[in-house]
């Protein structure tokens, strides 16, 4: 990052935070013309009881709701288009996303389709769609996506020979309001806090060392490293620890705004390739890849990596900047182990059979290659994958 570099900063989502803040949904809905509202969610959220709590709140409004609970991890063009065709004639005026990244991204994609029609594949890229999307409200139920604070939807292009993850970006694709309610997340599985929390840590670190960042995104990302580093163990161990859950969900959104404005890096480039090919869980893939990519990247900006170490409470007293940077990489590796995530991608079914394909997809993904602090060759990516598998 250079403060001299030309950047733009955009954040348009009203963030409502704190225990019980989801109750404010009533007020926000009454402020807007939301009738009829499509609730986008998944079966896990339905079974967890969270959907019921949200529906109870909505009963005290005049809004009519329709529930779509079929979102699957790594949402595809086919699934998104099917959902649109199912609801396009139902007079949907607003959308409420209740879920993790896949749900929020699906909801964003649907919000584009409801006002523009066609297939979501028609809108991959920056500001391709013409009409403003349907107003969107988001209640994140994980602590990692950051999508509730950003203006992108990640959708897997599955009707092509090679499956890849593509992004729909739009200056008007930010949710109108997001409710970051740690109390609502009480009782979620600790393993989900671990995987999604490590995704948020990945956003924070990749965003902080990104070549496209600014002083403003640095502030959002570095403090998020600090908050996640000091809360993720407690939150993983006990998701009834509401203070830790509130910190995690707010830090996660902070990284979402950071990534919308400063980009990410090679971890996401490689993990999107793996996610599309193996339908693998995004947070776990990122968490496994993170130390391997940091090990490759740190020489590009030892000072910033040393600062990441300090934010993660590494004792850097008396260390050279280079040794402090290396200690930061080791701290991330330890944290990954401590929250129960495996060290190798083979543990989640990724094998070396597809390593060439994965390497090619990641190498050709400019969205993540360009901001990565160290210039990576195709061979570098191959080597990272070989070590991580
Ligand atoms: Fe991510």
In the reported structure, the alpha carbon of residue 65 is separated from the centroid of ligand 1 by a whole-number distance in angstroms of 30
Q: How far lies 344's CA from each of 54, 155, 205, 347, 379, in Å?
A: 38, 25, 20, 6, 19
In the reported structure, the alpha carbon of residue 200 is separated from the centroid of ligand 1 by a whole-number distance in angstroms of 7
pLDDT digits (tens, 9 = 90+) for 247-305: 999 999 999 999 999 999 999 999 999 999 998 999 999 999 999 999 999 999 999 99
What is the pLDDT, as a whole number, of residue 184? 97
Mean pLDDT of the chain: 96
In the reported structure, the alpha carbon of residue 268 is separated from the centroid of ligand 1 by a whole-number distance in angstroms of 6
What is the pLDDT, as a whole number, of residue 1? 58
* pLDDT of 2 strictly over 80: no
In the reported structure, the alpha carbon of residue 319 is separated from the centroid of ligand 1 by a whole-number distance in angstroms of 31
Residues, the chain, total?
Answer: 389
pLDDT digits (tens, 9 = 90+) for 47-100: 999 999 999 999 999 899 999 999 999 999 999 999 999 999 999 999 999 999
Domains and CATH numbers, the chain: 21-180 (3.40.50.1970), 190-388 (1.20.1090.10)
* pLDDT of 120 strictly over 80: yes
What is the pLDDT, as a whole number, of residue 236? 98
CA dist., res. 289 & res. 165, Å (int): 17
Q: What residues does 40 pair with on adjacent strands? A: 68, 97
In the reported structure, the alpha carbon of residue 274 is separated from the centroid of ligand 1 by a whole-number distance in angstroms of 13
In the reported structure, the alpha carbon of residue 285 is separated from the centroid of ligand 1 by a whole-number distance in angstroms of 9
Q: What residues does 136 pair with on adjacent strands? A: 95
Tell me the average pLDDT across 321-335: 98
* pLDDT of 3 strictly over 90: no
In the reported structure, the alpha carbon of residue 235 is separated from the centroid of ligand 1 by a whole-number distance in angstroms of 19
Residues with Cβ within 5 Å of ion ligand 1?
A: 199
What is the pLDDT, as a whole number, of residue 371? 97
What is the pLDDT, as a whole number, of residue 33? 84
In the reported structure, the alpha carbon of residue 269 is separated from the centroid of ligand 1 by a whole-number distance in angstroms of 10
What is the pLDDT, as a whole number, of residue 325? 98
Per-range mean pLDDT, top range of 1-10, 22-31, 247-256 = 247-256
Query: Which of the 8 DSSP states describes residue 134?
Result: P
CA dist., res. 11 & res. 176, Å (int): 10
CA dist., res. 331 & res. 333, Å (int): 5
Asked if residues 187 and 245 have their Cβ atoms less than 8 Å apart, the reply is: no
Q: Is the Cα dihedral 32, 83, 102, 124 positive or negative?
A: negative
Q: In sequence order, what are the residues at sequence separation of 6 or more whose Cβ sits closer than 8 angstroms to the Cβ of residue 27?
A: none
At 231, list the tokens: 């809360």
In the reported structure, the alpha carbon of residue 359 is separated from the centroid of ligand 1 by a whole-number distance in angstroms of 19
pLDDT digits (tens, 9 = 90+) for 124-182: 999 999 999 999 999 999 999 999 999 999 999 998 888 999 999 999 999 999 999 99
CB atoms within 10 A of CB 122: 16
């Amino acid at each position: 990052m250079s403060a001299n570099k030309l950047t733009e900063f955009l954040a348009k989502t009203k963030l409502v935070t704190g225990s019980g803040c989801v109750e404010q949904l009533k007020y926000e809905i009454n402020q807007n013309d939301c009738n009829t509202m499509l609730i986008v969610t998944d079966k896990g959220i339905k079974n967890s009881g969270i959907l019921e709590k949200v529906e109870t709140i909505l009963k005290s409004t005049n809004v009519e709701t329709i529930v779509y609970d079929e979102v699957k991890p790594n949402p595809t063009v086919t699934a998104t288009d099917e959902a649109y065709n199912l609801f396009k004639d139902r007079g949907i005026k607003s959308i409420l996303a209740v879920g993790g990244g896949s749900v929020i991204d699906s909801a964003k994609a649907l919000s584009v389709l409801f006002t523009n029609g066609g297939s979501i594949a028609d809108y991959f890229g920056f500001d391709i769609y013409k009409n403003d999307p349907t107003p969107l409200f988001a209640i994140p139920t994980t602590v990692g996506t950051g999508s509730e604070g950003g203006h992108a939807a990640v959708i897997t292009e599955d009707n092509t020979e090679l499956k890849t993850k593509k992004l729909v970006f739009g200056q008007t694709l930010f949710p109108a309001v997001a409710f970051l309610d740690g109390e609502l997340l009480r009782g979620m599985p600790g393993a989900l806090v671990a995987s999604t929390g490590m995704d948020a840590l990945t956003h924070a670190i990749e965003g902080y060392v990104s070549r496209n960042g600014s002083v403003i995104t640095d502030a959002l990302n570095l403090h998020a490293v600090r908050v996640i580093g000091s809360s993720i163990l407690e939150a993983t161990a006990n998701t009834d620890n509401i203070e830790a859950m509130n910190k995690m969900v707010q830090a996660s959104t902070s990284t979402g705004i950071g990534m919308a404005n400063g980009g990410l890096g090679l971890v996401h480039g490689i993990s999107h390739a793996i996610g599309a090919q193996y339908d693998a869980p995004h947070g776990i893939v990122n968490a496994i890849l993170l130390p391997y990519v940091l090990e490759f990247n740190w020489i590009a900006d030892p000072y910033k990596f040393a600062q990441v170490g300090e934010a993660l409470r590494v004792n850097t007293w008396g260390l050279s900047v280079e040794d402090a940077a290396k200690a930061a990489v080791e701290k991330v590796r330890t944290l990954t182990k401590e929250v129960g995530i495996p060290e190798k991608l083979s543990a989640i079914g990724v094998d070396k059979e597809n390593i060439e394909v994965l390497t090619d997809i990641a190498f050709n993904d400019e969205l993540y290659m360009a901001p990565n602090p160290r210039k990576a060759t195709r061979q570098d990516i191959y080597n990272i994958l070989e070590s991580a598998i």
